[in-house]
Amino acid sequence: MDIYVQGQPPVLGTVSIKEIEDKAREAMKDHIAAYMYTFGSAGTCSTDVANKRAIDSWKIVPRMLVGATNRTLETTIFGVRYPSPLFVAPIGVQGILHADGELATARAAGNVGVPYIMSTAATRSIEDVAQANGPNAHRWYQLYWPRTSEITLSLLNRAKANGFTALVITLDTMLLGWRPHDIETSYLPFGYGVGIQVGTSDPVFMKRHNLEPRQGQSTVFPFEPEKIREAALKRGDERVAKEMGLGMAWLGEVNSGVFRTWEDLRFIRDNWDGPIVLKGIQRVSDAEKAIAHGMDGIVVSNHGGRQVDGAIGSMDALDKIMRSRKVRAAQQAGKLTVLFDSGIRTGSDVIKALAIGAQGVLIGRPFMYGLAIAGQEGVEQILMQTICDLNMTMGLCGYSDINEIIGKRDEILMKLEYKL
């Protein structure tokens, strides 16, 4: 109501996600490779399209004359009461879009009250992100599973020591997907020392290179790889060359091409005493295996279409998974938490995911649009407008408690089949 009463437009000038996306591209027009690296998808981008189509194929059927005057979005996940079911998705190398990178996003999440999931590919250290997020904020750590046990243990210990309460293991990025836009421009920030700050602040990794771990790091914005390459190769700048060498070494740890197996999860279980969530689940059989291997949760996700071209839409995957009796029984017994990711843009999208069976929803690209345009304030607007949209739409659909929606697919939604 403040927007209407005060007559002041939003920080981003609009609440239209499409217009915000266009503004983000305009803000990055002089660094379009960075924009494409962040927002582009694999191959022909067909999986990104499938995500949107899958969400749009479900239609909400509102109910009327229900007492929804007073509404609550509060929900409990892993025994923690959260103000809404929204989570900040783990996205790396935020420093290529804004000078404050992950610090801006972590502060925004802390201010709004949305849990922040930090990426291993961050341009800031675990310690610095935790400090920016705040002592009372909720945060989880997303693990790109390192090649060696020593570094894996170091990251787990650092995350736990800095207040990250749940561990999210991303399963679909053991190596980078086929992304033509990055290949055409040879764009890989890690190779230039950007997005490796979790590594360069790690005592085990840095000891291997006879260096001290670094805290308080910040990458240079804007990120201009051609200048770094010129400094290392043409001018013979040894410092820059060493940073590039560290970048490739860290990439060899966290995007090593080593594919883990279900049996490998025992190592993580033995060394992490909080909830473990597997991100990247798309098959019913994999969701059921997660239960069998004692995992606490899954994120139904295809990495926003950034890894496998021609893959199933994430909402379609969620629907199939939630039709599994084993999954529903484990969820109802409190043994499995189901989260959703890939394609969320509006409050209505969140409602659809919850109705199909998700208990929480990760938002990704939209907050990065906000970051590119206006830093912390831009991220805060995206989070707040999504929560406000969810609150208002939930009431207009005839529901006063977000928990009344979870798993009520057949009551709330109707599926429309699109013919190609």
Residue set of the binding site for FMN: 90-92, 119, 142, 170, 279, 301, 341-345, 364-365
The answer to whether residues 373 and 45 touch, using CB atoms and an 8 Å cutoff, is no
Residue whose structure tokens are 């961050």: 122
Q: How many angstroms separate the CA atoms of 18 and 22, rounded? A: 6
Annotated active-site residue in 31, 98, 181, 303: 303
- In the chain, how many H helices and how many E strands? 19, 12
Ramachandran angles phi, psi of 26, nearest 5°: -65, -40
Look at residues 360, 344, 383, 299 and name the one whose alpha carbon lies nearest to residue 105.
383
Q: Name the β-bridge partners of 140.
A: 117
Look up residue 341 and give its two tokens.
Answer: 């990711």
Question: 333-368: b or e for each residue (b if 16 or more CB lie within 10 Å)?
Answer: eeebbbbbbbbbbbbbbbbbbbbbbbbbbbbbbbbb
Residues in the chain: 420
Determine whether 270 is exposed, middle or buried from the number of CB atoms within 10 Å of its CB (0-12, 13-18, 19+): exposed
Rounded to 5 degrees, φ, ψ at 414 are: -130, 135
Annotated binding site for glyoxylate, which residues?
A: 35, 144, 179, 303, 306
Strand pairing report for 75-77 and 80-82 = antiparallel
Helix residue ranges per DSSP H, 197-341: 197-200, 203-208, 225-233, 238-254, 265-271, 284-292, 314-321, 325-332
Binding site: which residues?
35, 90-92, 119, 142, 144, 170, 179, 279, 301, 303, 306, 341-345, 364-365
CA distance 278 to 1: 39
Q: Tell me the backbone φ, ψ of residue 52, rounded to 5 degrees.
A: -65, -40
In degrees and rounded to multiples of 5, residue 151 shows phi and psi of: -75, -35
Question: What separation in angstroms does the CA of 36 have from each of 25, 28, 40, 186, 222?
Answer: 9, 10, 5, 12, 14
Tell me which residue of 324, 359, 368 sits closest to 341, measured CA to CA: 359
How many of the other CB atoms lie within 10 Å of CB of 104?
24
Query: Would residue 181 show up in a list of annotated catalytic residues for this protein?
Result: no
| Residues belonging to the active site | 303
